Structure 1
Amino acid sequence: MGPCIYVLKRSCVNWVRKLKEKPATIVGIAIFFFIFLVPLLAQGISVDTSKAGDINILYLIFFGLSLFFVGASVAAGLSTGTSFFTMSDVNLLFTYAISSNNILVYGIIKDMGWSIVVSVFMLFQIANLRANFALSILESAYVVIVYALLVFISQVVSLVIYSFTNANQRRKDVVKYAFIILLLLVVAYLVYGVSSRGTEAIQDYVIYAVPVAGWLLGMLAGVLTSNIVLFVISVAVIIAFILAVIGFMLKFKPDYYEDCLINSENAYHARQAMKGDRSAQANIKRKTRFKNVKTMKLGGGYGASSFFYRHLVEIKRTDKSVVFGTSSVLLLALGIGMGIAARFTSNDIVFAGFAVMSYIGLFLVGITKLTQELSRHFIYLIPDSPFKKLLFASLSSIIRPFISGILLFLPPVFINGFPILTSLILVLCYASINCIYISANIVIHNIFGKYSSMSLLAFLYFLFALLLLSPAAGLGVLFGVILDSVLIGFFTASIINFVTTIIVVFICRNLVHNIEFK
């Protein structure tokens, strides 16, 4: 284990030393902590908790988010899997005379550290947690810790499912249908419980027994409700699960590094492709599915529209449906959950769900079809208007948020009688916010190209997204206050966001006119 500890230590030391060579990264980190964390903590100390809601709403949100993460991990495990290792780990450790057991423990420890880093953005929600659920600063920080544990365990679930089902279609089918049946049973039980007894049904021990999602909920509720027995049992089950996964990998999958090697190579080539390395994208190992796709009734596309047609064909080949994809089931479950929660509390829970999903969208829109097209030469060679090429290459990524918004905000209309007009405006606003995220990506590519620091680009992406959202937020609040209507405020913000997107696409149209390949 000594060499593994040395690699961990040297990785941290080298990262700190490299900061000296990247002053822009240092400035970005400093601005990040100054702009976000300092005001957030200051607000968290003095925030008003007089209008706090039911703590069970927080449990419902966390349980739904856990199901979403676990579902995504199961889907990834059944297809491409995940890896705890980078290519540098592969080159340093996989070729060295070190026990595979020690290497696996090293990977788990490293992934746990990355889960904590990824979860730092949840610190922004401390003030909201205190204001909406009357939590203390320590309790809010504990929610962030449990969220980090959720991210880590999701990676563990993906790895063990991939190792168990790899190259065995029968096992894949068993795992897939078992998960779907379990998910439907959990949702049905929760719907029945909430409809008969209210939001207190989320604290049933049947819910706490749901694998991963229920265990983490028990760990969260055990502390917030001072139920020590529930907390101890939940922690013990989680530890036993992690140890069981490690034992499975060590005993039944001693050559797990072969699976990890493939996923590490794919992750490395994907990062290189994002930086502009065309050859890296060709090296990504994909499982080819020989499947006939019927004509999309669009004539195959012509000129710039051919990109939109090809993206639809790719989506249908991957998800079997252009409209209803793999993630649609999870989004629909979240929409049903919001409708049930709103039925026994208030319609404010739908607006809270809108805010949470809009915030999560900031991290999910990172890689779009346009980003992939910019790494290829075809988009530069088609003799068509640059504006049309940029618009059609982004169109499939623009349509998906509309579908996601419908799945999220229409179920409360049928479950709780949520106003249909309000629901449609929320769908429109949700889609417009995702269009702004796409616009921020376009601006970053137009200004910095593909040969820049990824950490700096990520920070600038968040910054440009906030800047592009500012006009809509300001005018939306202004019109909403003047006309005393929340709906008019949301509708105004939606229109401004769409106008901003069109302006950004028009200004950056030369992005697909001047090629930057070397």
Structure 2
Amino acid sequence: MKALSYLFFTTIKNSIKELRKNPGKLIAIIFFIAMLALVIFSRSLDSDLPSDNLRNTNELYAIVFALYSYLFIATSLKGLSSGASFYSMADVSLLFSTPISTKRILIYGLIKQMGTSLLVGVFLIYQYAWLNMTYGLSFGGLIVILIGYCIVVFCSQLAAMAIYSFSSNDEKLQAKIKFIIVGLSALVVSYIFYKTVTGTENIIDSAVEATNSFWLNLLPVVGWVKMAVVGVFSANYIHIISGVGLTLLSIFVIVYAITKIRSDFYEDVLLATEVSHSAITAKKEGNITDARKNVRVGRIGINRGTGADVFFYKHLIENRRSGLFLIDKTSIIFIIISIVYAFFTSNVINQNSENILPIFIFSTYMQIFSTATGRWIRELKMPFVYMIPVNPFLKLIKISKENILKITTEAIILFISIGILLDISPINIAVCIVARIGFGILFMSGNILTERLLGSLNSKVIIMFLYIIIMMILALPGIIIAIFTSASISVLDPIIAGLLITFIWNILISAFVIFLCRDILNYAELNNR
């Protein structure tokens, strides 16, 4: 056990020492901590919130259940294909060949994964401002939700590991497990839908009541953890003890089954770790498609376009092969999150454009992450785009067409959906769509500028940190101009006028930035990563 504890603490110590040799990463960490402190401090200055403006906390409990459920189901299903691993390739090299008990190695992996789960859930803390403003959630309450999130992450990866271990060599068993998971999920959704339709209250209250029903608290892990979290808020010690006890029991049962029943478990872990390592390496290098184990090809050949225009049709084919058209799964998740946010944070919108602004700001914030990467970035690492005898500026426009189409499609789907759900006027929907397209193109131009200036850097942390700063510099003048000039436009509502002004600014500054970076496809060395 001394060897494992030495490895664990030495890894932590070396990670801290590495910050001295990597000032960019240290600056990024300080920046994110400062932003976190700003979020918490800004809400503490406005702590006296009128209770009439707060929404029912039962809605928050329903959101927690939905978040935990999606996370657990999505991660568990990975156990049917690639599995999940608590280890890195370095762990495999150092530990699996040593005369250390496999049980102790598993305990080491479990402890290490607990820390990883905590880091994964840190993004929840950045949601403190709107959760406090909407539901009056305290910072301590957010920490409770974060702990529950980390437990669900941990249990879901443990479940994925167990599923992969027991079914990796049996396709019939995989089909049965998938049928059970999908069938149970469909049953839960059907139950919530039935209770919502037949409920005596309005649709939101009926859906919330169904989601928080006693029967759903009995669902493995998801229901138990949610029951414990809600028990903390309501000081219900029976729910706390029951939820924590059942979760710990499930962890013990899964670990016991893995170690006692599957004697060749660690042989399965080797493959799962290798698949995970390959996926992480591919994503770091920007080769997202390489992270997929199986690719559905279907029809082959581009058969359309000439010159640089062929890249646009190539990107469309790649989108089709990834299982979706125009938008990827990450974009769909962010669209759903934005719709849920709009659904739970707006009482009556209708013609009042002022109530649309928080929804627009939140969806634009989500858009930063959905447009942070694109298929055009991957083309910069291939030699073909540099070899086509076409004007480099025209080539840059052509390889960006798919991303522009994706941005437009996202905006249309998002705000038409929100408009239908919340009865927003058509003019407000149209303005929000146009303004969001403007910000999407601005974020894309910021990506191009980042690649032009920092394309040769290997540190993803530094690049992401500087990308956020560049986005702030590019967007801030347009926002300031919109604030000070929108009120003087008497023929339009100030919010509508402000959004249109930001669109004009974003398009102009984006065109200027792209023009300045027009020679990015002249020199492959600029993106030699």
TM class by smaller structure: 0.7 to 0.9
Query: Aligned letter for 1:137?
Result: F
> Given the alignment of the two structures, is residue 108 of structure 1 paired with residue 107 of structure 2, yes or no?
no
Deviation at 1:514, TM superposition (A): 0.7
Other structure's SS at 2:108 match: helix
Change (3 A) 1:276 1:124: closer
User: In 2, distance between residues paired with 1:365 and 1:232?
Assistant: 43
Query: Aligned letter for 2:471?
Result: A
Change (3 A) 1:284 1:42: closer
Does the 8 Å CA contact 2:54/2:135 hold for their aligned counterparts? Answer: yes
Aligned twin of 1:8: 8
Aligned twin of 1:247: 256
> Given the alignment of the two structures, is residue 383 of structure 1 paired with residue 383 of structure 2, yes or no?
no
With 428-437 and 130-139 compared, the bigger mean Cα shift is at 428-437
Change (3 A) 1:411 1:38: closer
> Given the alignment of the two structures, is residue 204 of structure 1 paired with residue 229 of structure 2, yes or no?
no
Aligned pair partner of 1:449 in 452, 455, 458: 455
User: In 1, distance between residues paired with 2:217 and 2:115?
Assistant: 26
With 9-18 and 329-338 compared, the bigger mean Cα shift is at 329-338
User: In 2, distance between residues paired with 1:412 and 1:66?
Assistant: 24
> Given the alignment of the two structures, is residue 99 of structure 1 paired with residue 101 of structure 2, yes or no?
yes
Query: Aligned letter for 1:4?
Result: L
1:225-257 per-position Cα deviation (integer Å, ceiling 9, x unaligned): 222222322222322333333234323444444
User: In 1, distance between residues paired with 2:288 and 2:436?
Assistant: 34
> Given the alignment of the two structures, is residue 219 of structure 1 paired with residue 223 of structure 2, yes or no?
no
> Given the alignment of the two structures, is residue 20 of structure 1 paired with residue 7 of structure 2, yes or no?
no
User: In 2, distance between residues paired with 1:351 and 1:254?
Assistant: 57
Change (3 A) 1:212 1:24: same
Alignment of 1:119-138 (within 5 A): 119-138=121-140
With 502-511 and 260-269 compared, the bigger mean Cα shift is at 260-269
> Given the alignment of the two structures, is residue 370 of structure 1 paired with residue 376 of structure 2, yes or no?
yes
Change (3 A) 1:485 1:270: same
Q: Size of the alignment, in residue pairs?
A: 510
User: In 2, distance between residues paired with 1:484 and 1:116?
Assistant: 44
Query: Aligned letter for 1:391?
Result: I
Change (3 A) 1:172 1:509: farther
User: In 1, distance between residues paired with 2:215 and 2:269?
Assistant: 35
Does the 8 Å CA contact 2:279/2:291 hold for their aligned counterparts? Answer: no
Query: Aligned letter for 2:394?
Result: K
Other structure's SS at 1:375 match: coil
Aligned twin of 1:146: 148
Aligned pair partner of 2:239 in 230, 241, 263: 230
User: In 2, distance between residues paired with 1:494 and 1:207?
Assistant: 45
Change (3 A) 1:12 1:289: closer
Alignment of 1:239-278 (within 5 A): 239-269=248-278, 272=281
Deviation at 1:498, TM superposition (A): 4.5
1:20-49 per-position Cα deviation (integer Å, ceiling 9, x unaligned): 222333333333333x13333322322242
With 149-158 and 380-389 compared, the bigger mean Cα shift is at 149-158
Other structure's SS at 1:509 match: coil
With 167-176 and 98-107 compared, the bigger mean Cα shift is at 167-176
Aligned pair partner of 2:313 in 284, 303, 309: 309
User: In 2, distance between residues paired with 1:251 and 1:314?
Assistant: 44
Aligned twin of 1:30: 30
1:385-426 per-position Cα deviation (integer Å, ceiling 9, x unaligned): 323333333443443344444554444444453444444544
Change (3 A) 1:137 1:387: same
User: In 1, distance between residues paired with 2:122 and 2:138?
Assistant: 18
Query: Aligned letter for 2:149?
Result: Y
Deviation at 1:6, TM superposition (A): 1.5
User: In 2, distance between residues paired with 1:428 and 1:247?
Assistant: 56
Aligned twin of 1:193: 195
Does the 8 Å CA contact 1:477/1:489 hold for their aligned counterparts? Answer: yes
Deviation at 1:9, TM superposition (A): 0.2
Alignment of 1:474-489 (within 5 A): 474-478=480-484, 483-489=492-498
Does the 8 Å CA contact 1:64/1:337 hold for their aligned counterparts? Answer: no
Deviation at 1:88, TM superposition (A): 1.7
Change (3 A) 1:100 1:473: farther
Deviation at 1:13, TM superposition (A): 0.7
With 105-114 and 69-78 compared, the bigger mean Cα shift is at 69-78
Change (3 A) 1:240 1:472: farther
Deviation at 1:446, TM superposition (A): 1.9
User: In 2, distance between residues paired with 1:138 and 1:418?
Assistant: 35
Deviation at 1:377, TM superposition (A): 2.0
Aligned twin of 1:59: 61
User: In 2, distance between residues paired with 1:350 and 1:207?
Assistant: 33
Query: Aligned letter for 1:233?
Result: S
Query: Aligned letter for 1:43?
Result: S
1:419-466 per-position Cα deviation (integer Å, ceiling 9, x unaligned): 444445444545554444444433332212243323322322333333
With 345-354 and 94-103 compared, the bigger mean Cα shift is at 345-354
Aligned twin of 2:471: 465
User: In 2, distance between residues paired with 1:97 and 1:70?
Assistant: 34
Deviation at 1:379, TM superposition (A): 2.2
User: In 2, distance between residues paired with 1:480 and 1:168?
Assistant: 64
1:39-89 per-position Cα deviation (integer Å, ceiling 9, x unaligned): 333223222422322212323333333344335424544444443222222
Q: CA RMSD in A?
A: 3.7
Aligned twin of 1:90: 92
Deviation at 1:8, TM superposition (A): 1.0
Does the 8 Å CA contact 2:282/2:291 hold for their aligned counterparts? Answer: no
Change (3 A) 1:325 1:54: same
With 158-167 and 134-143 compared, the bigger mean Cα shift is at 158-167
1:179-213 per-position Cα deviation (integer Å, ceiling 9, x unaligned): 44433433343344345231433321233334444
Change (3 A) 1:316 1:480: same
Structure 1's unaligned 5+ residue stretches are none
User: In 2, distance between residues paired with 1:351 and 1:232?
Assistant: 42
Deviation at 1:163, TM superposition (A): 3.7
Other structure's SS at 1:15 match: helix
Query: Aligned letter for 2:377?
Result: T
User: In 1, distance between residues paired with 2:186 and 2:327?
Assistant: 17
Aligned twin of 1:322: 325
Does the 8 Å CA contact 1:473/1:493 hold for their aligned counterparts? Answer: yes
TM-score (norm. length: structure 1): 0.83
Query: Aligned letter for 1:305?
Result: D
User: In 2, distance between residues paired with 1:186 and 1:118?
Assistant: 27
Other structure's SS at 2:381 match: coil
Structure 2's unaligned 5+ residue stretches are none
Query: Aligned letter for 1:47?
Result: D
User: In 1, distance between residues paired with 2:431 and 2:454?
Assistant: 35
User: In 1, distance between residues paired with 2:226 and 2:39?
Assistant: 25
1:1-27 per-position Cα deviation (integer Å, ceiling 9, x unaligned): 332222110001111222222233333
Q: Which has the larger radius of gyration?
A: 2
